[in-house]
Amino acid sequence: MPGYQYTGQAVNYKLIADIVQLLEENDIPCLLIGDYMFEAMGGPGLRGNIELILERHDINKAIRILRKANFPDDQPTYYKHLLCPSPLMGQTTCSANETPFIPYHSFHLNGRFWGEPYTGFHTDLCLYEKQDLFWDLPELSLGELSEDDTDFILASDHRFPPQENWQYWGRFPDTLYPVKIPMPVRYVEAMMLLTARDWEIKGHGWSWRDEIMYMWKYVVGVLEEFFEVEMFKPMFRAWWAVLENSESMSGGEVLCVHNLRRELVATGVMPETPFTWLKMYG
């Protein structure tokens, strides 16, 4: 996309595909998560931020490319909640519920008032480091996905429900540049790992479980074939089997968290939480 420029285009599937194409044509693979991932799967997303996962060694190059393409990332003066990184980071008064997905960098896209200097409403393009959130997935790569890929899938996959009538959710049109997302079970597994990692900090990593419950409530019924127990890696199957459509965790689910933590520690693959300022539970 030589000469591509952001001029306040509407935030939708087309813009997401354009951003992915811009990055990949500069040798930067990426993975879409967040509301637009859920919408592609058929879940009623909130039309929030565009959220992309990148490898750590690519992320600063991606920032330079997006700036060159006129994506704005000036820090707002009056609206501190729009700052990147979040001003909540480092505050012992907050909980992990308030700081779930913390972007490495954010660009401020168009809301109703794009282009006005001090607007309080807009959409962000958020870039995240894969190592912090999806360390269990293979390294991101360019090129087409194989038909039997068990880790990644296209947001335009024909098995996802189509957009119909007034609904804005549904799979991406296959006329757009291909956008990769995690396989549904791999996303759930990643959130299970994050819940286990952050179990001993304030909030018990509850925001990660919220992601799992969203899948359970809104996506499983639409994509049942993607959530068969055998599709999960063995260490996650017991947790998925006892999951309940409830705001509170059952005793069986808590036991699964502890068992997963024990297995991660025993195999030496339990990463440190980035929420280092949050008081640890004893």
What is the per-residue pLDDT for 278?
63
CA distance 222 to 226: 9
What is the per-residue pLDDT for 116?
47
Q: Let me know if 26 is exposed, middle or buried by CB neighbors in 10 A (0-12, 13-18, 19+).
A: middle
What is the per-residue pLDDT for 114?
42
- Collect the ranges in the chain with pLDDT lower than 50: 77-78, 90, 112-120
- What is the phi-psi region of residue 34: left when phi exceeds 0, alpha when psi lies from -120 to 50, beta otherwise? left
What is the per-residue pLDDT for 128?
96
What is the per-residue pLDDT for 139?
98
Q: Which residues contact 34 (CB under 8 A, 6 or more apart)?
A: 45, 48, 49, 50, 51, 101, 126
Among 282, 281, 276, 273, residue whose Cα is nearest residue 133? 273
What is the per-residue pLDDT for 123?
82
What is the per-residue pLDDT for 110?
66
What is the per-residue pLDDT for 155?
98
- Global pTM reads 0.88
Q: Are strands 50-54 and 124-129 parallel, antiparallel or unpaired?
A: parallel
